């Protein structure tokens, strides 16, 4: 099997280097050879074109959007690349050093062992870790969004906003998914895909993972409090009310 780890990047600077270094160290120390893992830095039109040189330095793949187009647009473009190149598993993880590359094999294991089609990383399951998150972010990501998401999807989920996940490629080829909608270009794509995978009857499971946000002096998050939260919430509302499909 072949897996592609997609790392969306927008102006991450030193955090991108930290992520790339941890990923390289993981690959060098990894004893398993199945699945084969390739890494892609997916640059969403960063002002400084330093992602491609970084990818070359570490032996990674890279794609770049000509202009900033949104994280959903970027992930979708990388998914299309992965499907075209015949990867079996598509993984997304943060480009700002929040996620732990050492957990990639446990994230993929349910797919490799044919027990799941969609594996969601959860910082809130026993064995997971979320570090020192601000209270408002902890409250919304641990309680508010998972509650609404679980009600809409019909399945209890503990971490519905975590982008650290692995998906069997065949799920993304399902014609009942409509990822190429303009309204999914920002943060909407990830909860939309998660919800649809559940509703379409795919085997969905969660595994515990670590998600530690970087120090605030390095830039905590690019998500704007109101606009960003509406972006990840509206797929849940739209699908629940059947405004979108």
For residue range 176-191, what is the model confidence (pLDDT) as tens digits? 999 999 999 999 999 9
Over residues 59-81, mean pLDDT: 97
Number of domains within the chain: 1
Residue 21's pLDDT band, with cuts at 50, 70 and 90, is: very high
CATH code for the domain in which residue 106 is found: 3.90.550.10
Q: Does the pLDDT at position 55 exceed 80?
A: yes
Tokens of 7: 């790392």
Q: How far apart are CA 98 and CA 126, in angstroms?
A: 18
For residue range 113-171, what is the model confidence (pLDDT) as tens digits? 999 999 999 999 999 999 988 888 899 999 999 999 999 999 999 999 999 999 999 99
For residue range 158-176, what is the model confidence (pLDDT) as tens digits? 999 999 999 999 999 999 9
Domain residue limits at 182: 2-240
Is residue 17 one of the residues assigned to a domain?
yes
- Between 240 and 180, the more confident residue is 180
Q: How far apart are CA 183 and CA 49, in angstroms?
A: 27
Helices (H) and strands (E) in the chain, counts: 9, 7
**Rounded CA Rg of the chain:** 17
Over residues 40-47, mean pLDDT: 96
> What's the pLDDT score for residue 213?
86
Is residue 157 one of the residues assigned to a domain?
yes
Whole-model pTM? Answer: 0.94
Q: ∠124-196-88 over CA atoms, to 5°? A: 85
> What's the pLDDT score for residue 216?
62
CB 191 within 8 A of CB 236: yes
Beta-ladder partners of 121: 207
Over residues 36-47, mean pLDDT: 97
Mean pLDDT, the chain, rounded, equals: 94
Q: What percent of the chain has pLDDT over 70?
A: 96
Is residue 71 one of the residues assigned to a domain?
yes
Q: How far apart are CA 16 and CA 79, in angstroms?
A: 20
Is residue 12 one of the residues assigned to a domain?
yes
Is residue 70 one of the residues assigned to a domain?
yes
For residue range 200-228, what is the model confidence (pLDDT) as tens digits? 999 999 999 999 987 665 555 666 667 88
Is residue 245 one of the residues assigned to a domain?
no
> What's the pLDDT score for residue 229?
83
Q: How far apart are CA 136 and CA 232, in angstroms?
A: 15
CB 97 within 8 A of CB 13: no
Q: Does the pLDDT at position 79 exceed 70?
A: yes
């Amino acid at each position: 099997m072949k897996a592609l780890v997609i790392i969306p990047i927008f102006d991450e600077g030193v955090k991108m280097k930290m992520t790339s270094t941890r990923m390289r160290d993981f690959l060098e120390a990894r004893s398993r050879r199945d699945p084969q893992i390739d890494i892609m830095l997916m640059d969403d039109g960063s002002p400084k074109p330093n992602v491609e040189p970084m990818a070359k330095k570490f032996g990674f793949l890279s794609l770049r959007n000509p202009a900033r187009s949104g994280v959903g647009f970027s992930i979708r473009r990388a998914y299309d690349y992965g499907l075209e190149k015949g990867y079996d598993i598509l993984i997304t993880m943060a480009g700002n050093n929040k996620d732990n590359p050492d957990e990639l094999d446990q994230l993929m294991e349910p797919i490799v062992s044919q027990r799941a089609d969609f594996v969601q990383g959860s910082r809130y399951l026993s064995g997971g870790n979320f570090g020192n998150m601000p209270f408002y972010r902890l409250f919304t990501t641990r309680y508010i969004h998972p509650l609404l998401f679980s009600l809409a999807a019909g399945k209890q989920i503990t971490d519905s906003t975590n982008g650290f996940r692995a998906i069997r490629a065949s799920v993304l080829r399902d014609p009942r998914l409509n990822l190429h909608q303009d309204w999914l270009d920002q943060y909407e794509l990830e909860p939309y895909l998660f919800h649809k995978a559940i509703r379409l009857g795919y085997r969905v499971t969660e595994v515990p993972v670590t998600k530690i946000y970087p120090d605030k002096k390095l830039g905590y998050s690019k998500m704007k409090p109101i606009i960003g939260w509406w972006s990840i919430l509206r797929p849940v509302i739209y699908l629940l009310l059947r405004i979108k499909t």
